[in-house]
Structure 1
Amino acid sequence: MENKQHIFYVLTCKDGSLYGGYTNNLERRIKMHNEGKGAKYTRGRGPVELTYYQCYEDKGEALRAEYNFKRLTRKKKVEFLKGDSDDVAAKKL
């Protein structure tokens, strides 16, 4: 059985906003975002820049990290990205 990477990632858009997502191919996904074919949120906010990523063995963990990150306030997202918070997948919000 193939061992896939499950990746939670955070992009910084050109307007300074943060976008959290999930993928199993980070390079391809960032390219899609920058071509305007990624998430609706990032269209018109490109180019985007990879700010953070974390690999997980389990898809559910990566999706939990994305979900938890998206529920944070901007202030908490910035704290997380600065390393002032723990792994978002493990957080109980």
Structure 2
Amino acid sequence: MFTVYVLYSTVYKKIYINHTADLENRLRSHNALATKENPIRYRTWELFYFEEYETKEEAIAREQELKTDQGREYLWNMIRNRPRII
């Protein structure tokens, strides 16, 4: 099983889109173990959205769709319209 996931930094208002075969470890990596500049710079990331796929090829195809202008607009609309918890 492969997961396409979207992380959101509420502090910096940034999204990060990727895919993985191990979502739990990837989340830990982004928030605690990452060594690359962007995952570190925009911490703390929250899991905002995810979809699961049977094959890696399907996950990569969906990841690429979400990284298009239309895909990013779809995600930003979801972020803007999500219910607020007080």
Whether TM exceeds 0.5 here: the answer is yes
* Cα RMSD for the two superposed structures: 2.0
Bigger strand fraction = 2
Bigger helix fraction = 2
Alignment of 1:13-92 (within 5 A): 13=9, 14-37=11-34, 40-72=37-69, 74-79=72-77, 81=78
State the TM-score, normalized to the length of structure 1: 0.71
Identity of matched residues, %: 27
| Structure 1 stretches lacking a partner, 5+ long | 83-93
| Number of equivalent positions | 77
Higher relative contact order (CA 8 A, sep 6+): 2
**Hey, which bits of structure 1, 4+ residues long, moved more than 2 A?**
38-41, 72-77
Quote how far apart the aligned CAs of 1:10 are: 0.2
